Amino acid sequence: MRDSLIALENVSMVFTRGWLSRERVEAVAGVSMVIPEGGIVALVGETGSGKTTLGKLVAGLYRPTGGRVRFRGQDLWALDRRSFGEYRRAVQLVHQDAFAALNPVRTVYQSLKAPLLHYRIARNEREARERAAGLLEQVGLTPPGLFLDKYPHQLSGGQRQRVLIARALTVEPRLIVADEPVSMIDVSLRLAILQLLRELNRRLGLGILYITHDLATARYLAEEGWLAVMYLGQIVEQGAFREVLGNPRHPYLQALLSAVLVPDPRAARSMRPSPLPEIDPPDPRRPPPGCRFHPRCPYAQAICRERPPALQGPADHQVACHFAQEIPSWRPPSAASPSPWA
Ligand SMILES: Nc1ncnc2c1ncn2[C@@H]1O[C@H](COP(=O)(O)OP(=O)(O)O)[C@@H](O)[C@H]1O
Ligand code: SF4
Ligand SMILES: [Mg+2]
């Protein structure tokens, strides 16, 4: 693995709500993972598994309640102001909802100009406009003159998402945390946005943490990179994308791949009966003891209800399951085609 840009060490994030009930949600529970410099990592899991929270921890928007986040080896939350500022520039978050993320009364140019001037990447209006035009070209909004003075509501969903990516690029980041960046745009435009991210990775050596509930798009983007599969706040399997998908070991990932368990629970209800125990996804406020997946796992034994399995194995393939070695390896029926996951 290349040098790590960000490393999470046993990171947890607990939210507490309501001062009377003190309801506690451990959205992220002891996650360790590495994001290599210039690498693409896909973080996959169903709704509520803690992906957005993990993305915000990586982007430094949350301070973890347990564990460490390291930026180029240094403890992020022990950095001095200047280094923390550098980190904030180096890691940019791109939201799923571009419409909400863009100020409706600012033109595209005004949205791009603010960070350009703030970080003195451009010294004056003329330079800022040139830079902004260059950025729009980089994200495929050409000719830029057509877009610079438009307001968000005058753009399509795909164009707004490109503006958001251009805004993230203004500060010359090293990593983009893209949280479900295509889930709110038209299906026909999704591939083009993913293509753009892939191209930016190749051309600029820009790292990407791609957060999604959809394995098909994860594979499209991260096939030559890394995959981490999340379940109820924990990583259950991770490693080199091809290695993990070529030899999926965790029963949850196997179920995802066989499309028996659809990552979106709403869609799952309309599916044919599943050989997994039919229960609703467990409540993150009361995670099951032992292995969090045990109520849904067809292989669960007594030990699974008592002891949480550790994430184990070489860096290119780690699994958290007491029976990772015994459970038959399972391959997607047509590994060459993405259709079973689409
Ligand atoms: N700010 C917050 N306060 C309280 N609970 C939260 C907060 N953010 C997320 N959660 C809870 O943490 C869990 C994981 O949420 P999230 O990270 O958004 O998952 P995902 O992005 O995978 O859908 C959910 O149960 C959610 O309700
Ligand atoms: S540890 Fe047990 S319950 Fe958890 S995934 Fe493995 S076999 Fe299933
Ligand atoms: Mg989310």
- Choose one of 12, 13, 19, 25 to mutate for the ligand 1 pocket test, by most ligand atoms within 8 angstroms of C-beta: 25
Residue 77 CA, ligand 2 centroid: distance in Å: 34
Task: Ligand 1, residue 211: give the atom nearest the CA.
Answer: 21
**Which ligand has its closest atom nearest to the C-alpha of 324?**
2
Sorted by sequence, the CB contacts under 8 Å of residue 208 that are 6+ apart come out as 39, 40, 41, 175, 176, 178, 197, 200, 201, 221, 222
- pLDDT value of residue 18: 73
Distance, in Å, from the CA atom of 102 to the CA atom of 161, rounded to the nearest integer, reads 10
DSSP state of 170: T
Residue 177 CA, ligand 3 centroid: distance in Å: 12
Per-residue pLDDT tens listing for the chain (342 residues): 557 999 999 999 999 887 776 788 999 999 999 999 999 999 999 989 999 999 999 999 999 999 999 999 999 999 999 999 999 999 999 988 888 999 999 999 999 999 999 999 999 999 999 999 999 999 999 999 999 999 999 999 999 999 999 999 999 999 999 999 988 888 888 999 999 999 999 999 999 999 999 898 999 999 999 999 999 999 999 999 999 999 999 999 998 888 533 444 444 443 333 344 445 667 888 899 999 999 999 999 999 999 999 999 999 999 999 999 988 876 655 444 443 333
Q: Does ligand 1 have an atom closer than 6 angstroms to the CB of 51?
A: yes
> What residues does the ion ligand 3 have nearby, CB within 5 Å?
52
Q: How far is C-alpha 138 from the geometric centre of its chain's CA atoms? A: 22
Sorted by sequence, the CB contacts under 8 Å of residue 75 that are 6+ apart come out as 68, 69
HSE value, Cβ hemisphere, 13 Å, CA-based, for 219: 17
Q: Which amino acid type is present at position 107? A: T
Beta strands per DSSP E along 218-332: 226-231, 234-240, 317-319
Residue 213 CA, ligand 3 centroid: distance in Å: 9
**Which ligand has its closest atom nearest to the C-alpha of 263?**
1
> What pTM value is reported for the model?
0.90
- pLDDT value of residue 332: 56
Residue 179 CA, ligand 3 centroid: distance in Å: 7
Per-domain boundaries in the chain: 1-100+173-284+311-342
Strands 207-212, 4-17: pairing kind: unpaired
Q: CB–CB of 94/179 below 8 Å?
A: yes
Q: Write out residues with Cβ below 6 Å of ligand 2.
A: 250-251, 291, 293-294, 297, 299-300, 304, 309, 321-323
Task: Ligand 2, residue 298: give the atom nearest the CA.
Answer: 8
- Is 3.40.50.150 the CATH classification of the domain at 1-100+173-284+311-342? no
Q: How open is the CA angle 100-104-105, to the nearest 5 degrees?
A: 155
Q: How far is C-alpha 108 from the geometric centre of its chain's CA atoms? A: 26
State the DSSP string of 244-268. Answer: HHHS--SHHHHHHHTTSS-SSHHHH
Cβ neighbours around 71 below 10 Å, total = 24
**Which ligand has its closest atom nearest to the C-alpha of 322?**
2
- pLDDT value of residue 258: 80
How long a stretch of residues is the chain? Answer: 342
Q: How far is C-alpha 157 from the geometric centre of its chain's CA atoms? A: 20
Residue 296 CA, ligand 2 centroid: distance in Å: 9
Q: CB–CB of 201/38 below 8 Å?
A: yes
Cβ neighbours around 324 below 10 Å, total = 19
- pLDDT value of residue 107: 97
- pLDDT value of residue 309: 98
Match 């520039």 to its residue by tokens: 89
